[in-house]
Amino acid sequence: MLDLPSCTSPTATTCLHCENAIPKIYILISIHHELDRLIVSIKNTKYPAVRVRDRKFLFQILDLLSQAIQQFGKTYVQTFIDLNNLKEKMIAIQNLISEEV
């Protein structure tokens, strides 16, 4: 069950202009873009220090994603982030993020 804020416009026919919707949507879109950016960086860098830095950021963003799933529900988060595709990408870089430097 979602813990939704009280609706400020209960007679509205859409949530498009709701002040409560924008931050939630923006954070999910930002998480999606940041995960993609970090995964590509980890895959393509030839510098171990960059990989270590990006691995740290990746795990922080994954923690935010986990919190978003707990807060908004997996189904809602899936509308912005393909979690199955993300899992495949994480498996693909598993050996790169588990390396010791």
Q: Please state, for a pLDDT cut of 70, what percent of the chain lies above it.
A: 83
Look at residue 20 in the predicted model and tell me its pLDDT.
67
Q: What is the model's pTM?
A: 0.76
Asked if residue 100 has pLDDT above 70, the reply is: no
Characterise 95 by phi-psi region: left (phi > 0), alpha (psi -120 to 50), beta (else). Answer: alpha
Which one has a higher pLDDT value, 32 or 7?
32
- Where does the pLDDT of residue 1 fall: very low under 50, low under 70, confident under 90, or very high at 90 and above? very low
- Where does the pLDDT of residue 10 fall: very low under 50, low under 70, confident under 90, or very high at 90 and above? confident
> Nearest CA to 101 among 51, 28, 39?
51
Hey, is 53 helix, strand or coil? helix
